Amino acid sequence: MTLLIAPSLLSCDFAKLGEEARLMERAGADMLHLDVMDGHFVENLTFGPPVIRALKAATALPLDAHLMVTNADHCVDWYLDAGADYVTVHVEACRHLDRVLNHIRERGAKAGIALNPATPLDFAEEVLELVDLILVMSVNPGFGGQHFIERSTERIAELDEMCRFAGVEPLISVDGGINEQTTPEVVAAGATCLVAGNAIFGADDPAGALEAIKAAGAAAQLEREEELAGDFDAFDPEALDAGDLLER
Ligand code: DX5
Ligand code: ZN
């Protein structure tokens, strides 16, 4: 799967949102990550549907609305109406997750789930067939510019394995503390979409920073693909005897 990069506008200049979005488009972004915060699910407050609607008109990039809100069960339609292509809800916030995900897809959009760093991955396992994107939070949500939580890499690898086993291929997105240094390990573990805010908009040259993360990710993905192909070539079914098969 081609590696995607989704700049988070959380760290951009809110006085020129449209320009920042177009700058990312020109720089080679694949999607825009929009952090909706309600002051309840997380302490912070950002923006809601009207801003998403305005951004939809300002850029051709797909929009992923990352809903850090407590009322996602009742309000996903607002974001779908505003033009979000992906609507990503927190599993910790949805009382009726199965219903919400089905609803997003029935409306013709892509359904995503987000998992906080301390949330068991089993929450994802129960709805794997219903999701197009799994957002692994690699910081506790609420603010940009935090440090990457190391354990996230292992969680990405576990999710990747879970998806392979189930025969599904949602995007595995990672959000929080992603930069040129943390990118290789998350991509090696199986991340297919990188969300980055501070590393891009905090840089003197945001477009250059995006390109650097993308290049680091592409190199790591190539290495991973070669390793996976190597594992496959090394596998010789004829070398297995019946005992081996039973053990597997
Ligand atoms: C945090 C948000 C992130 C945030 C990531 O709650 O969900 O999308 O923008 O920012 P950085 O890349 O600065 O850690
Ligand atoms: Zn986010």
pLDDT at 248: 46
- How far does residue 8's CA lie from ligand 2's centre (Å)? 7
38 lines ligand 1 (CB under 6 A): no
Strand partners, 86: 64, 110
**Is 122 a residue of the active site?**
no
CA distances in angstroms from 95 to 89, 98, 99, listed in the order given: 11, 9, 9
pTM of the predicted protein model: 0.93
Q: How far is the CA of 116 from the centre of ligand 2 (A)?
A: 11
Residue 246 CA to ligand 2 center (angstroms) comes to 44
User: Per the residue annotation, which of 64, 77, 175, 205 is the catalytic one?
Assistant: 175
- Bridge-based pairing of strands 110-115 and 86-90 is parallel
Is 64 noted as a catalytic residue in this protein?
no
Q: Over its length of 248 residues, how does the chain's per-residue pLDDT go in tens digits?
A: 899 999 999 999 999 999 999 999 999 999 999 999 999 999 999 999 999 999 999 999 999 999 999 999 999 999 999 999 999 999 999 999 999 999 999 999 999 999 999 999 999 999 999 999 999 999 999 999 999 999 999 999 999 999 999 999 999 999 999 999 999 999 999 999 999 999 999 999 999 999 999 999 999 999 999 999 987 777 666 655 555 545 54
Residue 173 in contact with ligand 1 by CB distance below 6 A: no
Two structure tokens written together for 224: 């991973």
State whether the beta carbon of 66 lies less than 6 angstroms from ligand 1: yes
Residue 231 confidence (pLDDT): 79
Cα-to-centroid distance, 197 and ligand 1 (Å): 6
How much is the pLDDT for 185? Answer: 98
φ, ψ dihedrals at 120, nearest 5°: -60, 145
Residue whose structure tokens are 């930069």: 179
Q: Is the C-beta atom of 116 inside 6 A of ligand 1? A: no
Write down the pLDDT at residue 247: 52
Which ligand has an atom closest to residue 178 CA?
Answer: 1
* DSSP-derived secondary structure for 17-29: HHHHHHHHHHHT-
**13, 30, 35, 132: which is the annotated catalytic residue?**
35
Is ligand 1 within 6 A of the CB of residue 144? yes
| Of residues 113, 56, 115, 60, the one with CA closest to residue 80 | 56
